[in-house]
Amino acid sequence: MKKYNVAIVGATGAVGEKLIQLLEDSSIAINELHLLASARSAGRKLIFNSQEVTVEETTESAFKGIDIAFFSAGGSITQKFHQAARDSGAIVIDNTSAFRMDPNTPLVVPEVNPEALRDHTYLIANPNCSTIQMVAALKPIEAAFGLDRVIVSTYQAVSGAGLHALEELEEQTKAVLAGEEPKANILPSGGDKKHYPIAFNAIPQIDLFSEDGYTFEEWKMMNETKKIMGLPNLKIAATCVRIPVMSGHSESVYIEVEKDGVTADEIREVLKDAPGIVLQDDPSTQTYPMVITAVDKKDTYVGRIRRDVDNPKGFHLWIVSDNLIKGAAWNSIQIAEKMIEMALV
């Protein structure tokens, strides 16, 4: 069996931590694991498979001999180093939004569009976390009944904004409980003018605003869903909201199917056996997906499935998954595993 030299760029970050953990239970046979971050972290020791690995600074020469490079250090770092990695012969699996809408870059959720991997040019984009869990659940429904429209509202965890945002949530929570004024420096977006506390709050802004009143996070969900599902004419609108949860994104999703006469039971039937999906849907026992049961798991959980009161082709669903796992690290690892299976790496 071939063994691979693997690098993680952003190994000290929220997604990087999960990549290190999850690579331990992946099917990828690893020869060497290189942990890369900024110069600030060089020399730090992290544990992989019970062994210490020293963090190195990300430089162009750090990719020599690497077969698979996972990037999760922000779009600017991907822009700066992807070419060096590709030139060294590595497959880059990028968790940032830098190349997701590039027509020459496959944007892949392995349960949904694995065939897109065949067209890679040594760079594959891992979709936005909220998009991944939604398309994983919508693909089997679309395959069975067609899909005409999607309206999604998200309830997104703070870990999606990185480790510093998580620290801020903790500090703000302690401050509020101690009767002090919470300090806000990161959310809703590090790059925007104003910052609001996330503790005991819900912020209807993730990423910056575009001129049309949608945020870039909302545009990511709308554009990426069309690209991954191969449905350029899908009607879709998103509202993305940050809530004070550490990890695990929840989504209220309204869909309209194309086929007439579909029932909620038929949708449950299709989802029951779908790859990567766990159906949790029984109001009589108060069974439905929740962040506290979905966190640290690789699957996407779906429940609260019901027909719209007014539109017989409309259905409502509640979709929950761990944004750092299926929404980021695990989907990236699945991409690598799939490429190995398809003999593309």
Candidate residues 40, 45, 174, 183; the one interacting with ligand A2P per rule CB under 6 A:
40
98 binds ligand A2P (CB under 6 A): no
What whole-number distance in Å separates Cα of residue 146 and Cα of residue 93? 30
147: left (phi over 0), alpha (psi -120 to 50) or beta: beta
186 binds ligand A2P (CB under 6 A): no
Closest CB 42 distance from ligand A2P, rounded Å: 8
Closest CB 153 distance from ligand A2P, rounded Å: 24
38 binds ligand A2P (CB under 6 A): yes
Residue closer to ligand A2P, measured from CB, 34 or 120: 34
The catalytic site residues sit at 129, 249
Sign of the four-CA dihedral 8, 14, 18, 20: positive
Residue closer to ligand A2P, measured from CB, 10 or 276: 10
Site residues for ligand A2P, 59-88, by CB under 6 A, read: 73-74, 77
Closest CB 161 distance from ligand A2P, rounded Å: 8
13 binds ligand A2P (CB under 6 A): yes
Contact 208, 187 (CB under 8 A): no
16 binds ligand A2P (CB under 6 A): yes
What whole-number distance in Å separates Cα of residue 72 and Cα of residue 301? 25
Tell me if residue 138 falls in helix, strand or coil.
helix
What whole-number distance in Å separates Cα of residue 85 and Cα of residue 102? 18
Candidate residues 163, 175, 234, 264; the one interacting with ligand A2P per rule CB under 6 A:
163
Closest CB 29 distance from ligand A2P, rounded Å: 25
Q: Which long-range contacts (CB under 8 A, 24 or more apart) does 190-197 make?
A: 190/161, 197/172
List C-alpha distances in Å: 224 to 59, 129, 135: 30, 11, 9
Site residues for ligand A2P, 133-162, by CB under 6 A, read: 162
Tell me how many residues contact ligand A2P (CB under 6 A). 17
List C-alpha distances in Å: 230 to 56, 93, 98, 107, 114: 39, 20, 20, 11, 12
What whole-number distance in Å separates Cα of residue 86 and Cα of residue 80? 12
The token pair that represents 74 in the structure block: 């922000």
Candidate residues 118, 164, 174, 235; the one interacting with ligand A2P per rule CB under 6 A:
164
- Nearest residue to ligand A2P, using CB? 13
Closest CB 74 distance from ligand A2P, rounded Å: 6
- Give the residues lining the site for ligand A2P (CB under 6 A): 10-14, 16, 37-38, 40-41, 58, 73-74, 77, 162-164
